[in-house]
Chains A and B, each alone.
Chain A
Amino acid sequence: MDPVAYVILATILFCIGAVGVLVRRNAIVVFMSVEMMLNACNLTFVAFAQMHGNLDGQMIAFFVMIVAAAEVVVGLAIIMTIFRTRRSASIDEPSLLRN
């Protein structure tokens, strides 16, 4: 099978995610963009696994999902905490911690 279409789709998804991370200020949206980048990677893993006819890529895709799930738990908790104290989910607000 030809993976080109999958790779192009994954690239488009990754770029959308990356741009989302860079341009959006809302922490939740940034988070979703990160998830989208992760899933773009998962798509390439699965596509190449299909091409090679083995399960290696699918294994790694599962790992990525599990790690992403764990990360979401921690990340959302942080966002919740920040939101509670500052009444805002802006990603630029924590720069105040710098000083």
Chain B
Amino acid sequence: MSTALMSLATSGDIPSDTVEPILTQITASDAGGIFEFMWLLLALPAFGAAVLFVAGRRSNAWGHLLGVLMAVIPAGLAIWLLVALMGRPEESRTITQHFWDWTFVGTFNAEFAIRLDPLSIVFVLLITIVGGLIHIYSVGYMAEDPGRRLFFAMLNLFLAAMLLLVLADNYLLLYLGWEGVGLASYLLVGFWQYKDVAAVAAKKAFVMNRIGDVGLSIAIMLMFVTFGSVTFGDVFAAAPEADSTTMTLIGLALLLAATGKSAQYPLQAWLLDAMEGPTPVSALIHAATMVTAGVYLIVRSNAIFDQAPVALNVVLAVGLVTMIAGAWIGCAQDELKKALAGSTMSQIGYMFVAAGLGPAGYVFAIFHLVMHGMFKADLFLGSGSVMHAMNEERNMRFYGALRGVMIVTWITFICGFLGISGLPPFDSAFSKDDIIAAATSQNWFAGAVTIFAAGLTATYMTRMMAMTFFGKARWHDDAHPHESPQTMLWPMIILSFGAIFGGLFAVGVIGDLNILEWLKPVTGYEEAALEVPHWSLEVITFVVVIIGIVLTWMQFGMRDVPQAAPQHVTVLTKAGREELYTNTWHEELLMRPGQHLTRWLVWFDNKGIDGAVRGIASGIMGIGTGLTRTQTGYSRRYALVMVGGFLLLVAVFFLAWWF
């Protein structure tokens, strides 16, 4: 079986020593060649967005083509850059390019500079390739939408911001990209803002992200106070000598930021609502790229987290909780996209668990992130294709038996299913097993939870497959499902190749690139000492996954699924349908007090502040009115006042002289 293959790929290839991160940096002009054109990665999508926003309706006819071009060219450039980076020796793979001094005040200097290293190139590849495919998909998906050109403008804006996020050379510039993707996410979730739910979902996503963003800004301020710089190079070089309390604070602030952006518990509630956006947006932003930015932030800041074991443990705890919570929600939701969103939360939970393991897990977090980017984008595009065919019906209870009419979608969805469920030798089998092994080596409990979550993953995915593609047709009367157009199918086909072969490619079974060896110089690595043989964990996981698949198939594949959701269900299902009541407690504990606070503030503003201002104004007017009384027009009275004033002055002088 492929267990041997995997052992070869994972434990066999990794030398059991410790790798320290390499901090050397080379400027782009020194590196020469293609590296001098790194800036195009950012400039092209930004240019596309600017043209499409400014040109407005005039570009309706060709806007989507420009948008696609501005996403596909960076993808080609990224591949070229990867090849160029691979050609360089390991210690000189960090290339920086300086554009201009962005902000400098006193000793604070944030440059507008980008940094390409083995970690960021992985993200750049994921963003541009998956992004490019989703741009192509959107051409077909949004074909009938009157706002297609605007949609592409926003997608380009998102690409530019996301690339800035992963390419930034300092935390302040990263923050700019971080806010940029937040803005693009807000715009795109609310793209159909004439629907109330979409507008509300966009606002919710934005507000909950802001809570996390506060964490990032606090972290940046703490870094500046501690290190006097926010540049990656300076911070990472100084971090090992820094005070561990400060590092813990920075780590926790960064975690808050990551929690908001990556929809981790307790800031996860926006992700399910964000599914109101167009499906390509869900695939690109809320599955493959933006929501994984939190993982990037933590792994990028590994030098800080290495000094903050407490913060790392909190990362691990957040990851474990979200991993189970997301899978739980994914098992209970009836809307295809919401179930997938639950799955996204759960998989990012896996990445957080890996990142929370410290140097033993950073590489696996990124590994799983890349795998997830491919299979989850594939699954989302598949769900978009299904919804496209079913008149935008989202509820899986009205699907069924679609494998007959949508063969390509069905097959690509199966590829995604294989990729996510962890069956060897597909994507997750490599990345998830590595995470399980690393977790088990540090903490038996964490290992057990990750294995259990692997079973849940198989459960919700089997449920989705069974309800959507198998069983009897439960369609609406007016539904005439049909296969999607070519522009939508090809991106799905390519991504499903990624979902099937991505893992084999990433560990070097196909090709000669090993993502783990590749990332180690940036993230550092420490071989985890596993007390049990690696293959035993793989077997346990495999068995758990198979049990999950079989049990779910017996429930949803072999019995008829009712169109109305059953009401007599277990507490667990009820809680899952209600998204574990997080919305309820957010509402009761945060939203209502917030509303009361704002109401009180409005009252205070009206009565207190405005009252003070108006009071001063009316007081002065009153004094003025009173003073006009003295202007009687009787000149003799003026003369009397003058005499009185004179006498008063004389009296004052006299008293001053006397004493």
Q: Which residues of A contact B (CB under 8 A)?
A: 18, 21-23, 25, 30, 91-92, 94-98
Residue pair B631, A98 in contact (C-beta under 8 Å): yes
Q: Which residues of B contact A30 (CB under 8 A)?
A: 636
By Cβ-Cβ distance, the 9 closest A-B pairs, closest first, are: A95-B633, A98-B633, A95-B634, A21-B639, A22-B640, A92-B634, A22-B636, A91-B635, A18-B643
In the complex, whether B570 has a CB less than 8 A from a CB of chain A is no
A22 interface neighbour in B631, B632, B633, B639, Cβ under 8 Å: B639
Alpha-carbon gap, A12 to B562, bound state (A): 117
Report the minimal beta-carbon distance from B28 to chain A, rounded to whole angstroms.
81
Q: Which residues of A contact B633 (CB under 8 A)?
A: 94-98
Q: Which residues of B contact A98 (CB under 8 A)?
A: 631-633
Name the residue on A nearest B631 (C-beta).
Answer: A98
Q: Which residues of A contact B640 (CB under 8 A)?
A: 22
21 CB contacts below 8 A, A to B, read A18-B643, A21-B636, A21-B639, A22-B636, A22-B639, A22-B643, A23-B636, A30-B636, A91-B634, A91-B635, A91-B636, A92-B634, A92-B636, A94-B633, A94-B635, A95-B632, A95-B634, A95-B635, A98-B631, A98-B632, A98-B633
Q: Which residues of B contact A (CB under 8 A)?
A: 631-636, 639-640, 643
Report the minimal beta-carbon distance from B640 to chain A, rounded to whole angstroms.
6
Q: Which residues of A contact B643 (CB under 8 A)?
A: 18, 22
Q: Which residues of A contact B639 (CB under 8 A)?
A: 21-22
Q: Which residues of A contact B632 (CB under 8 A)?
A: 95, 98
> Which of A25, A92, A94, A97 counts the most chain B CB atoms within 10 A?
A92
* A/B pair count, beta carbons within 8 Å: 27
> Which of A18, A96, A97 counts the most chain B CB atoms within 10 A?
A18
Q: Which residues of A contact B635 (CB under 8 A)?
A: 91-92, 94-95
Alpha-carbon gap, A25 to B635, bound state (A): 10
Q: Which residues of A contact B634 (CB under 8 A)?
A: 91-92, 95
Q: Which residues of B contact A25 (CB under 8 A)?
A: 636
Alpha-carbon gap, A22 to B639, bound state (A): 7
Report the minimal beta-carbon distance from B637 to chain A, rounded to whole angstroms.
9
Q: Which residues of B contact A18 (CB under 8 A)?
A: 643
Name the residue on B nearest A25 (C-beta).
Answer: B636
Alpha-carbon gap, A98 to B640, bound state (A): 18
Report the minimal beta-carbon distance from B648 to chain A, rounded to whole angstroms.
15
Report the minimal beta-carbon distance from B644 to chain A, rounded to whole angstroms.
10
Alpha-carbon gap, A22 to B643, bound state (A): 9
Alpha-carbon gap, A94 to B631, bound state (A): 12
Name the residue on A nearest B639 (C-beta).
Answer: A21
Alpha-carbon gap, A91 to B632, bound state (A): 13
Name the residue on B nearest A18 (C-beta).
Answer: B643
Report the minimal beta-carbon distance from A21 to chain B, rounded to whole angstroms.
5
Alpha-carbon gap, A95 to B634, bound state (A): 5
Name the residue on B nearest A33 (C-beta).
Answer: B639
> Which of B631, B632, B636, B640 counts the most chain A CB atoms within 10 A?
B636
A95-B632, A96-B633, A98-B633 given; name 16 further pairs at CB < 8 Å: A21-B636, A21-B639, A22-B636, A22-B639, A22-B643, A23-B636, A25-B636, A30-B636, A91-B634, A91-B635, A91-B636, A92-B634, A92-B635, A92-B636, A95-B634, A97-B633
Name the residue on B nearest A98 (C-beta).
Answer: B633
Name the residue on A nearest B643 (C-beta).
Answer: A18
Report the minimal beta-carbon distance from B641 to chain A, rounded to whole angstroms.
11
Name the residue on A nearest B646 (C-beta).
Answer: A18
Name the residue on B nearest A96 (C-beta).
Answer: B633
Alpha-carbon gap, A21 to B640, bound state (A): 9
Alpha-carbon gap, A23 to B643, bound state (A): 13
Alpha-carbon gap, A32 to B436, bound state (A): 113
Alpha-carbon gap, A18 to B647, bound state (A): 12
Q: Which residues of B contact A97 (CB under 8 A)?
A: 633
> Which of A25, A30, A94, A95 counts the most chain B CB atoms within 10 A?
A95
Q: Which residues of B contact A21 (CB under 8 A)?
A: 636, 639
